[in-house]
Structure 1
Amino acid sequence: MDLPPSTPLIPVSSSNVANQKASARQEIIWLLKNAIPLVISYLLQNSLQSVSVISAGHLGASELAAASLASMFVTVTGLSMVMGTTLCLDTLCSQAYTSSHCDKKVVGLHVQRCLVFLTILFLPIMALWWFAHDIFLLLRQEQQVALLAGRFVQWMIPALPAFALFESLKKMLQAQGLFRAPTYVLFVGAPFNVVASYVLVWHTPLGFIGAPIAASLTYWLLVLLLVVYIVYVGGSEVWPTRKWHASSSMGGVLDFYAYGPILKLAIPGILLICSENWAYEIIALAAGWIDGDATTSQGAQSVLVTSVAMFYTIPFGVGISAANRVGNALGAQRPKQAALAAKTALVAACLVALVNASVIFFCRHQWAYLFTDDEQVVALVSKVIPIVAVFIFGDNVAGIADGVLNGQGRQHVGAWFNLAAYYLSSLPLGFFLCFSRGWGLQGIWFGLMISLLAVAVATVMVVLRSDWNLETINAKNRSSQETKDL
């Protein structure tokens, strides 16, 4: 269960060996226990997009292609931008909540400022979504597919602010140790989405556009339920109710100069999330250029990317849990506790990564049958999986290590590593091996594997060499920028 408000998120550290071992056990238990609701939330939240594609896709081949194209476009150009931006709250909220140098209502103030920044960011995104039909035509999509996909994206516009509100409020609760609240909300929202999508698509004149309308309604339901939880169950004590203007004693929500810390963390966060998503889309296009049976290569690539996403669910939960644990410890000015939490997260990263890589490797000959009955796709997938298994190991370790860096407020490290790995290493090397050396899909994934292993090693080394005393000072300085008198 979630920690009650009276329970300290960061226990008092102990000096003797026995207590240190006990603390290490407590850290691993805390980390994994709180990662479980995050994993469930991640799975349920991802199902919202999948249900929309499935519901609309059963109307016909054009509808399936359009829904898939629109879902990809919405994720890459909008939802990933929101997720990257809200990574700043992993740092700011978790450190502020346990800091003795600022009022806990600063946590809510950070959320309010993040939402203001996202509102400004929405303007170009919504314009892009409104003209999505024209963009799809420029990308030489079939006219009927482009028309349907454009309408799908337009009806997803109302979902964008709801998604931003849900993500931001979720981060606010996680900083307080309330990890299960979003899971409870999604246990209601996910079934609602299934029912709403089925009814609107198949039993109303809306038809195809019923799927995005159902998704938009679901996101707003999630926001409403989360607000009800915050108001009536827990988490509202960090929400400030005034100071929307700038003042001399404390920067308000609309104080321009107070957005420096937000931008410093949000922009690298966007690069960290989006650089990977964009790279996968480039690879998906490249799979269609491989000589021979392009359809088989594209099918195999779809199976592999979906599998990588599936095996990232547990590392994702552990990474978010680690970010909040490290951030809470730094905010409480406990560098040794933060270091212990970071090392525990890295140990968990290696264990989780090893299990995930082993599962897909030993099941490589049967794995693709979960997605398709096409024997050529199955054969190609089983051929590439040994490389993908090693990639998954590196990707999982790097993802959890990035969570530790997010807790420190060093999102820029992961962002630069990702940009270098995908655009200076993975894609050039992978395309060279694929097209110039004739390795095909194996070449693309070999380039990804080499680069992500290097990123994993580099990110772990950065975490292990962290100056934790300096990080606590940085956390203190972030908190001290806000007054205690809200």
Structure 2
Amino acid sequence: MDISPSTPLIPVASPLGLNQKATFRQEVLWLLKNAIPLVISYLLQNSLQSVSVISAGHLGANELAAASLASMFVTVTGLSTVMGTTLCLDTLCSQAYTNRECDKKVVGLHVQRCLVFLAALFLPITALWWFAQDVFVLLRQEQQVAMLAGRFVQWMIPALPAFGLFESLKKMLQAQGLFRAPTYVLFVGAPFNVLASYFLVWHTPLGFIGAPIAAVLTYWLLVLLLVGYILYVDGSQVWPRWQWKASSSSSSSGVGVGGVLDYQAYVPMLKLAIPGILLICSENWAYEIIALASGWINDGATSQGAQSVIVTSVAMFYTIPFGVGISAANRVGNALGAQRPKQAALAAKTALVAACIVAFVNASVLFFYRRNWAYLFTDDEDVVILVSKVIPVVAVFIFGDNIAGIADGILNGQGRQHVGAWFNLAAYYLSSLPLGFFLCFKLNWGLQGIWFALMVSLLTVAIATIMVVLRSDWTQEAINARKRSSQEAKEL
């Protein structure tokens, strides 16, 4: 079937506000409307881990070190892997939902298969978490800290499947344009986490392990609330009944291609999921390597403290780009699934304009408040002085990182997660870390050397990613989206 940028393949009254005559203003309003709840969700969800560290950390110095170490380990080895895997749903679900040749229940089928893949991933992650204490000992952590951190990680094991369910169901709702549902759920879950953590740590015999138990209870509460929203409010229309084996005829659920265990259907999913894991994890792993390296600098504790302030700041300033990036991914995916390449291109360009504005504002705020910024986190004068020296470089890094993050969202909507993954791997492991360590330890630039290398690499990645997006063949991407979704509907 021949497709041109103006070929209408679905009715003008299309879902999610997609239409052939969309304007830049309409795309801006849509982006703002749906990015805001995502930003709030991101902030609330990130608070769950922070509350656990704060609650347990007030018990003593060893408990603080152990909770921080365990939280980092859980995020890097488990939660990041889940988030990277579910990036495939940004593509598959958003494109399938607006493809008129595709039964809407294919969206839920993609989620079911993603959950099966996550279940397989959980087996090695669970084994790693169970023996986390041994890992910490190998990393030469103090014995008491290693023991406490290991227990913390073990108690977090039940949270892993809950986190996978929550992230997958959240992607399913976002593909349908239901961006506010996870925010509503987190408005209940986040306060519950604070109260549960405080009560279990300070008012029960559980003490230290009360923090991870509270986190586990919170994640399962989030799943239950989200399932309740889907069943009783909106979103259940895309969920098929579980059908394990492949079939050659339509089932009563309306999905008649392949079941959850149709192994051939996992090939296109894995082509998106594996790059997604690399995209998310490569950045987190790099930051942890840098955190370890900051302890090898001559001024030791000062550089480690400054690095902690800087990384926390980078995460803070990524909240808005995160929301815009997820919104852009779903908007582009929906437009391509609906065979509206012109609108997909307009949505992408709108997101890039928003990226530049957000990145400029974030970088400017950090730069102009550089002399006092560190006082938000510490009263140590040496740390404050070092942070103020490094922040001009970090501000430029944030500019590039914010733009690259939103551009990656556009690529995810297209189904080109591999582009961002390769750029990240090259930026961090072939450029930033080798150059940064050379500048830091050989030329004695210290922490500034590491962040100068990161700045150069991420600016390069931002420019390269923008060029890839702008040079996209949107007609071909629409064809790819139709083929990707229609593979599931060819026998309906």
Q: TM-score range by the shorter chain?
A: over 0.9
Q: Which residue number corresponds to residue 17 of structure 1?
A: none
* Matches of 2:199 and 2:490, distance apart in 1: 51
Shift of 1:251: 1.2
Q: Which residue number corresponds to residue 425 of structure 1?
A: 431
Q: Which residue number corresponds to residue 15 of structure 2?
A: 8
Q: Which residue number corresponds to residue 463 of structure 1?
A: 469
Shift of 1:10: 3.9
SS of 1:406's partner is helix
1:442 partnered with 2:432: no
Shift of 1:279: 0.2
Shift of the 242–56 alpha-carbon distance from structure 1 to 2, 3 Å rule, reads: closer
1:96 partnered with 2:102: no
1:45-444 equivalences in 2 (<5 Å): 45-249=45-249, 250-291=257-298, 293-444=299-450
Give the residue type in structure 2 aligned to 1:70.
A
Superposed CA RMSD in Å reads 1.0
* Matches of 1:59 and 1:308, distance apart in 2: 28
Shift of 1:460: 0.2
Shift of 1:485: 6.4
Shift of 1:262: 1.0
Deviation digits for residues 237-268 of structure 1 (CA, Å, limit 9, x no counterpart): 00001422112341110111110111000000
For structure 1, list consecutive stretches of 5 or more residues without a partner in the other structure.
1-5, 15-19
Q: Is the Cα–Cα contact under 8 Å of residues 81 and 273 in structure 1 kept in the other structure?
A: yes
Give the residue type in structure 1 aligned to 2:28.
I
Q: Is the Cα–Cα contact under 8 Å of residues 248 and 491 in structure 2 kept in the other structure?
A: no
Shift of 1:11: 2.6
Runs of 4+ deviating beyond 3 Å:
none
Shift of 1:402: 0.1
Q: Is the Cα–Cα contact under 8 Å of residues 57 and 64 in structure 1 kept in the other structure?
A: yes
Shift of 1:394: 0.1
Q: How many residues align?
A: 473
SS of 1:228's partner is helix
Shift of 1:91: 0.1
Shift of 1:484: 6.5
Give the residue type in structure 1 aligned to 2:93.
C
Q: Is the Cα–Cα contact under 8 Å of residues 58 and 64 in structure 1 kept in the other structure?
A: yes
Give the residue type in structure 1 aligned to 2:382.
Q
Q: Is the Cα–Cα contact under 8 Å of residues 103 and 484 in structure 1 kept in the other structure?
A: no
SS of 1:240's partner is coil
Deviation digits for residues 384-420 of structure 1 (CA, Å, limit 9, x no counterpart): 0000000000000000000000000000000000000
Provide the identity percentage: 85
* Matches of 1:230 and 1:129, distance apart in 2: 31
- 345-354 vs 245-254, greater mean Cα deviation: 245-254
SS of 2:15's partner is coil
Give the residue type in structure 2 aligned to 1:161.
P
Q: Which residue number corresponds to residue 479 of structure 2?
A: 473
* Matches of 1:234 and 1:372, distance apart in 2: 45
* Matches of 2:150 and 2:138, distance apart in 1: 12
Shift of 1:7: 7.3
Shift of 1:483: 2.0
SS of 2:86's partner is helix
For structure 2, list consecutive stretches of 5 or more residues without a partner in the other structure.
1-12, 250-256
Deviation digits for residues 62-105 of structure 1 (CA, Å, limit 9, x no counterpart): 00000000000000000000000000000000000000111000
Deviation digits for residues 262-296 of structure 1 (CA, Å, limit 9, x no counterpart): 100000000000000000000001101112x2100
Q: Is the Cα–Cα contact under 8 Å of residues 103 and 485 in structure 1 kept in the other structure?
A: no
Give the residue type in structure 1 aligned to 2:27.
E
Shift of 1:480: 1.0
Q: TM-score, structure 2 length as denominator?
A: 0.95
Q: TM-score, structure 1 length as denominator?
A: 0.96
Give the residue type in structure 2 aligned to 1:266.
A
* Matches of 1:323 and 1:289, distance apart in 2: 39
* Matches of 2:397 and 2:64, distance apart in 1: 30
Shift of 1:122: 0.3
SS of 1:244's partner is coil
SS of 1:103's partner is coil
* Matches of 2:265 and 2:199, distance apart in 1: 46
SS of 1:67's partner is helix
SS of 1:9's partner is helix
SS of 1:365's partner is coil
